[in-house]
């Protein structure tokens, strides 16, 4: 079975404040396949975290890996985030009380249904998410230049 690992991160300077997202795709050997960063304007940290996941799932559906795996039917996606709150919300262990975040959770669920591959969300320590974190900071920094 082919597995792709997606590390995502989102962050804001101030909460809310200028925000960015970072996405990094890795293969089974943990080799970096693709990275993406984007300044998303004013957002909270949690909104940025969700925007990063949404972007990652949209990007994966446009990838050659996805096309190949859909044909073979044997693949899974593991999303690694350093936000325990977001992981627990996406896994259904925590309630989502914020209306804006609830909409984002629903968008993630719609994307999961579209992808039709097993998707797992796991919490990782911040130091295990350095690449996505750097992408977030570069995205925010680029806005101020």
At the fourth CATH level, the homologous superfamily of domain 2-143 is Ribonuclease H-like superfamily/Ribonuclease H (3.30.420.10)
The answer to whether 86 touches 42, Cβ cutoff 8 Å, is no
Task: Return d(Cα 46, Cα 87) in angstroms, integer.
Answer: 11
pLDDT digits (tens, 9 = 90+) for 8-28: 999 999 999 999 999 999 999
For the chain, give every domain's residue range. 2-143
Angle 6-21-13 from CA coordinates, rounded to 5° = 140
Task: Return d(Cα 121, Cα 48) in angstroms, integer.
Answer: 16
Residues of the chain with pLDDT under 50: none
Q: What is the predicted pLDDT for the residue at 71?
A: 75
pLDDT digits (tens, 9 = 90+) for 47-62: 999 999 999 999 999 9
Q: What is the predicted pLDDT for the residue at 51?
A: 98
């Amino acid at each position: 079975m082919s597995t792709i690992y997606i590390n995502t991160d989102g962050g804001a300077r101030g909460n809310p404040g200028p925000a960015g997202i970072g996405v990094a795709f890795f293969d089974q050997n943990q080799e970096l396949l693709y990275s993406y960063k984007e300044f998303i304007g004013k957002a909270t940290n949690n909104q940025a975290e969700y925007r990063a996941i949404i972007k990652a799932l949209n990007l994966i559906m446009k990838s050659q890996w996805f096309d190949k795996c859909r044909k073979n039917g044997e693949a899974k996606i593991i999303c690694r985030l350093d936000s325990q709150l977001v992981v627990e919300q996406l896994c259904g262990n925590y309630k989502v009380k914020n209306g804006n975040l609830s909409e984002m959770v629903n968008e993630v669920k719609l994307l999961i249904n579209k992808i039709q591959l097993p998707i797992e969300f796991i919490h990782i320590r911040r130091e295990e998410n350095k690449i996505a974190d750097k992408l977030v900071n570069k995205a925010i920094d680029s806005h101020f230049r």
